[in-house]
Structures are given as C-alpha cells and as structure tokens.
Amino acid sequence: MFSYALPSLRRGPVLQSALALLVLASGGCNQDDPTAPGAGGRPGPAEPPSGQLATAKTNIWASKAPMPTARTALATGVINDVVYGVGGVTANGAPLATVQAYNPATNAWSTKASLPQPRGSFGTAGVINGILYIAGGTDVSETATRTLYAYNPSTNTWTTKASLPVASGCGATGVISGKLYVYGDCTTPTFQRYDPATNTWKSLAPPTFKHRHPAGTALGGKLYLAGGVDGSAYTTTVEAYDPGSNTWSTRSSMNVQRAGAGSVVINGLLYVVGGYEGGTTWVYFVEAYDPGTNTWTTRARMPTERGWLGAAAVKGKLYAIGGQRDGANALTTNEAYTPGDVWVTRAAMLTPRAVVTAAVVGGKLYAIGGLQGNTLLSTNEAYTASSDKWTGRAPLPQPRISTDGATVINGLIYVPGGISGFGIASATLYVYNPSTNTWATKAAMPAAGGCGASGVIAGKLYAFSGCDAFVHVSKRLDRYDPASNSWTTLTAPASLHFYPAGAVVNGKLYVVGGTTNGTRPLNLTQALEVYDPGTGSWTTLAPAPTARYGATAVGLNGQLYVFGGVDGFEDAFNTVEVYSPSSNSWRTLSSMPTARGWVGAAVISGQAYAVGGECCGTGTYTGVNEAYTP
C-alpha cells in the first residue's frame, strides 16, 4: 500500500480542496508551483447552450464522387480501405462485368480488371485474406449461376475457383472464421459454405423463412439475413445463423419492410440502408441493429431513396453506392454516412459538484453525493430526459464522495463505500428506493474502501475498491448478494487502480486507468483489466490510449466507453475512448464538449449522460450535463 501524498508540483482543485483535506494532511504538500509544467491548467471550452449539438459531423450524410458506371444490384467489398464495385445490372436489366474501385481518401474512382463473365444480383462480396470473392449471381439470361470468382487487387487479376454445388443469386454473403457463407434465393433458398484453404464447398440448411434479395452480412461470428421477399410479401423478418451450433434463430424484426437493401457492420452494429418495399415505394430509411440488446434503432435518412444498392464500410463510415429508385433507371449515386458519435448539452444539475456517482432507474438518472469546494455533499437529484428537468430527492444518510460507484438491482440503487471524512473511507452500503424516495442501510462491506468502480452481474453487486479505510492506494474486489444481504471477498486484479474508470460489459467487470502510486509524480496507468465471474479471475487486455485518473465509464452497445478524467497536474481531459471486447482494441471518439474529471455517468435509452465534474484544473465545480449518442 502507498500513503497518498503529493510532495511536489501542484495539486488540482479536487485534490487540493477535498482529497488533500481528507487524506493528504500527512503528505506535507507544497503549494502550487507556477513554474511547474502544466501549472495554471488548461482552459476548457465554454459550456454550449442547452440543446446545442457539440458536433455536427456525425449521424449525417454527404454526397461523394459518383460511380462512373450507372448500375444496380452490384456487389461491393472493401480491401485496404478501398471499395470495389463489382458487376451489377444496367437500367435495361443486362448484367455487367464492370469493376470499379472507389478510394474514400481521395474521393476518386478507378477502373479495374473486368469479371470473367457479366454477373448481377449477387448480394454482397466476401473478402478473405485480402482476396475478394464473388459467388454466383445472375447471368445474361437472368438465371442464377454456380461460378465463384476471386479477385487479387495486388495483381488486378481474377481467378476461377470451385463451383458452387447449387446455383445461387439474389441473396447475401458473409465471412466467418475465414470461410465464405453464401445464401441464395432467386427461386429456391440455398445456403452454402466455401473453404478457401481446401477450395471446397459444403451445403448447409437454409433459414426458416425465405429472404429473396435480403440485406445480409456477418456480425459477431453469425450471418444475419434481414428482410427480403417471402413469396410475394416484403418482410421485416431477421434471422441469424450460428456456425457453432449449425442453427438459425429468429431475431427482432426491422422497423421497415424491404428488399434490395444494403448492409454493413460498423462498431459492432448492423446497418441496413435503403431498399424497396413494393409498389412505387423506394426506401431511404436507415436502421441499426444491436445484437447485444436485440434491438433496432432508426438513424438519419439516406438523401437518395433507392434499392438494390451496394453498401460498404470504410473507417467507420457507410458508403451507399448505385442502385435504382424508379424501376427504370440505374444510378451512379455515391453517398457517405457517418453514424452516431454525437454529443448534446442538456439541463445542468441543480447543484454543481464533482466526484458524483450516477445511476438510472425507470428512465431517470440519479446523481448522488459529490464534492463542492471543501464540502462533502449528501445531495441526491433526479434527471428526467424526456422533460430535460432535474428534481431534488432524499439525500444520502451521510455525505459521501469517491464511492465505488452506484449500481441498480431490481429497481434499487446501491452505493457502496466511499470517503466520508478526514482520511476515512467507509464500509457502509446504502440502498436507495426511488419509488418510496427512502434510503436503507445494508450489510457493511468486508473492509472499508472506495476510489473504485462497480457493476452488476447476474443480480449481484461487484465492487472494486482502489483505496482502503485510510484512503491509501490499495486494491480489493468484493461481491454483494442482495438475496442474502451478504458479502464475499474475491480475487483482486494484478494492478493498482486508484480512481479508475470501470463498468460491466457483457457480464464482466472492466477496470481501466487510474494511478498506481501516491506520490508526485503520479504514475498514471493505461492498464485495462477485466474480471470474469465465471472463472473468478482477472485478465489484462489492450491498454487504453490515454493515461488518466478520475475518468468515468459506462457499458453501452457491448463496449466500454471512457469519458474525461485528469492528468498528473489535475488538468482535465475531454477525451472519449471506447474499448471493443470482440477485437480487444480501442478507438478515439468525438470529445466531450466540456473537459472535466470526476464525472458521474449512466445510460438512458442508449445515450450516455456525463454529469458534473471539476473543470479544467481551475477549481470550477460544474453541474454540466452532456449526453452522448454512439
């Protein structure tokens, strides 16, 4: 353990006014050094008016260079961030052998080697190890074919591979674990798998429903088919194929019936764009499917309604290319969509404060406890997103900061541990009932602690403490079972994490960042560790791009989002980073409008709300409330 002291350089306002008051008296801290690096803090941006978007560059469409050849029912694939538009059909229904490549970086098209034979109505192309595969499709007689062509962009050449066992077209293609899965439904549904290692095919059982001209691609190790035509009916039906169990399952239906739509995967979500829903109705709707929640969300409309378009994803953007919209004309249209990643400023908390903890029950966000100047707060305020209003609620029984976070089990908010006085952390577990606006005290933690993170897994509270009873840097993990009102001490992580960010994602507790020591210079860490209750063990994962402490995190859409925090001089970040468990990788997203640390965060209806905090190393305790849409 380390006694947390700051013997040199300057202290930021949160630690100077509160943690220094509570913990650091034994550290003999010097006054701020105006000549020290970072002294004076970084100026933060002014708070935008309520409702103003912090960025106007996401969830929008933009026109790009048109495709040189007008066509519909083309296949698209991406290799090295270049989109290849392959084959397709002209306005009079004739298939094409044309291949053209679009480079989003230069917004320019180039012509490539033609297909060996004209083809259209493939569905999508598949890319395996840098090779683009085109399976089946319709020929000049509008008949499904058995051909499999492979394109090598490095040599600009096509090769013919083993033919499909059964002719295929009017379907969709996806790549899972290095194998090509091809669904076809021009007349009779077929489902086949190609192994490029052996150049062989295997026939598989088709889905339960017919999906002629569906949207479809692979996501999370499964092949998804969305919509299409079943008999004469345009459908919203969605099915997913799991190669592990060799079975199909029905998933939540789309909001809009359609066939001939495009589909891509971006940030773990399946986007379905455009299509045709019968009669004279061409679709401009965009929907995003989250497999973690089995839900669809409507996104910004495509500017040009159309069906039988090609769709591709490059660096987080969706490109909608070609297609048709009146049954007679093929298009050259190329439009790019940047999904989500949007901040909006909402009504500020009634009480400005930092080191606040937050939780959501019944669509309301509760901001609990916190710090204002040298004063610990017991404040409890509730925010209703639909009305953008805050109301005061019953305060905590005791003022508290630096808890292990607030979690929700069966409609009750659990607040474990935290700093409650001069150099003292608490073991108390408070429980708040929003329906009765009352607090109760439950079984105390096995040891006093706080400065950590918590989450709920399978109805139990997991509390990671980054400090001990005397607010020394420490580490421990405890689990609380509300059914028995009892605690169990579990294995602690390998690293120290004093004031980390943390949250539960996909049934596991993630803890990232913080500091590992208690003296200047602070040893800020980028370490990310995850606790798996199934194995009772921690695993070290890809480190975060930014070393910081006093950040906050939420689990959203199967990913870990980390907001704000401070550096070693207590200057605040507005940095937002997201960790994807499926790829063990991080990405940087749009920054928070207001740089701040010691923020409370929680999720309401798919949006992450970041409330309160200490702004910019200036001692400003803010009530700012900003909502993020991924």
- Render pLDDT for 224-260 as a digit per residue (tens, 0 to 9): 999 999 998 999 999 999 999 999 999 999 999 999 9
pLDDT of residue 617: 54
State the average pLDDT over residues 199-216: 96
CB crowding 45-72: b at 16 or more within 10 Å, else e? eebbeeeeebbeebbebeebebbebbbb
pLDDT band per the 50, 70, 90 thresholds, residue 268: confident
Helix (H) or strand (E) holding 299: strand 295-299
How far apart (Å, rounded) are the C-alpha atoms in residues 563 and 550? 9
- Contact by Cβ (8 Å): 240, 248: yes
CB crowding 450-488: b at 16 or more within 10 Å, else e? bbbbbbbbeebbbbbbbbbbebbbbbbbbbbebeeeebe
pLDDT of residue 408: 98
18 compared with 578, residue with greater pLDDT = 578
pLDDT of residue 618: 59
Contacts of 425 (CB under 8 A, 6+ apart): 402, 417, 418, 419, 448, 449, 450, 451, 465, 467, 468, 469, 470, 471
pLDDT > 90: percent of the chain: 77
pLDDT of residue 300: 87
- Strand 82-86 to 99-103 pairing: antiparallel
How far apart (Å, rounded) are the C-alpha atoms in residues 75 and 89? 10
What 3-state class would DSSP assign to 334? strand
State the average pLDDT over residues 262-278: 92
What residues pair up with 343 in beta bridges, in sequence order?
Answer: 628
Q: Which of 67-81, 273-287, 586-600 has the highest average model confidence (pLDDT)?
A: 67-81
pLDDT band per the 50, 70, 90 thresholds, residue 616: low
pLDDT of residue 352: 96
**Max Cα–Cα distance, the chain, nearest Å:** 87
Least confident of 39-48, 467-476, 610-619: 39-48
Residue 55 carries which side chain, given as an amino acid letter? T
pLDDT at 48 over 60: no
pLDDT band per the 50, 70, 90 thresholds, residue 34: very low
pLDDT of residue 124: 79
Beta strands (DSSP E) in 486-613 are 486-490, 501-505, 508-512, 528-532, 537-541, 552-556, 559-563, 576-580, 585-588, 600-604, 607-611
How far apart (Å, rounded) are the C-alpha atoms in residues 538 and 531? 4
pLDDT of residue 233: 95
Examine residue 206 and say whether the peptide bond preceding it is cis (omega within 30 degrees of 0): no
pLDDT at 22 over 90: no
pLDDT of residue 160: 98
How far apart (Å, rounded) are the C-alpha atoms in residues 223 and 191? 11
Tell me how long the chain is: 630
pLDDT band per the 50, 70, 90 thresholds, residue 29: very low
What are the phi and psi torsion angles at 55 (to 5°)?
Answer: -145, 145
CATH class of 13-50+347-629: mainly beta
- 497 burial (CB, 10 Å; 0-12 / 13-18 / 19+) is buried
Helix (H) or strand (E) holding 21: helix 20-22
**Among the listed residues 25, 41, 32, the one whose alpha carbon sits nearest the alpha carbon of residue 9:** 32
pLDDT of residue 57: 53
How far apart (Å, rounded) are the C-alpha atoms in residues 319 and 313? 6
Residue 262 carries which side chain, given as an amino acid letter? G
pLDDT of residue 177: 96
Q: Rounded mean pLDDT of the chain?
A: 89
- Strand 600-604 to 585-588 pairing: unpaired
pLDDT at 56 over 80: no
State the average pLDDT over residues 281-296: 88
pLDDT tens digit sequence for 441-490: 999 999 999 999 999 999 999 999 999 999 999 999 999 999 999 999 99
How far apart (Å, rounded) are the C-alpha atoms in residues 259 and 216? 11
pLDDT tens digit sequence for 125-135: 999 999 999 99
pLDDT at 555 over 80: yes
State the average pLDDT over residues 344-371: 94
pLDDT of residue 30: 28
State the average pLDDT over residues 558-565: 96
Tokens (6 digits) for 108? 């320019």
- Contact by Cβ (8 Å): 254, 216: no
CATH architecture type of domain 70-340: 6 Propeller (2.120)
**Among the listed residues 168, 96, 89, the one whose alpha carbon sits nearest the alpha carbon of residue 126:** 168
- Residue 253 half-sphere exposure toward CB, CA atoms < 13 A: 12
- Strand 357-361 to 585-588 pairing: unpaired
pLDDT band per the 50, 70, 90 thresholds, residue 14: very low
pLDDT of residue 627: 86
Tokens (6 digits) for 268? 């773990």
Least confident of 129-133, 357-361, 378-382, 624-628: 624-628
Q: Provide the whole-model pTM.
A: 0.57
Residue 246 carries which side chain, given as an amino acid letter? N
pLDDT band per the 50, 70, 90 thresholds, residue 342: low
Q: Which residue has the tokens 């976070």?
A: 405
283 compared with 520, residue with greater pLDDT = 283
Beta strands (DSSP E) in 96-235 are 99-103, 108-111, 126-128, 131-135, 148-152, 157-160, 172-176, 179-184, 190-195, 200-203, 215-219, 222-226, 229-230, 233-234
pLDDT band per the 50, 70, 90 thresholds, residue 84: very high
Tell me where in the chain the CATH 2.120.10.80 domain(s) lie: 13-50+347-629, 70-340
Tokens (6 digits) for 352? 């400005």
What are the phi and psi torsion angles at 22 (to 5°)?
Answer: -85, -35
- Contact by Cβ (8 Å): 77, 85: no
CA dihedral 487, 490, 495, 499 (to 10 degrees): -10
How far apart (Å, rounded) are the C-alpha atoms in residues 129 and 132? 9
pLDDT at 586 over 60: yes
pLDDT of residue 256: 95
- Contact by Cβ (8 Å): 12, 570: yes
pLDDT tens digit sequence for 293-307: 788 888 889 999 999
Quickly list H helices, 229-320.
Answer: none
How far apart (Å, rounded) are the C-alpha atoms in residues 332 and 64? 10
- Residue 188 half-sphere exposure toward CB, CA atoms < 13 A: 4
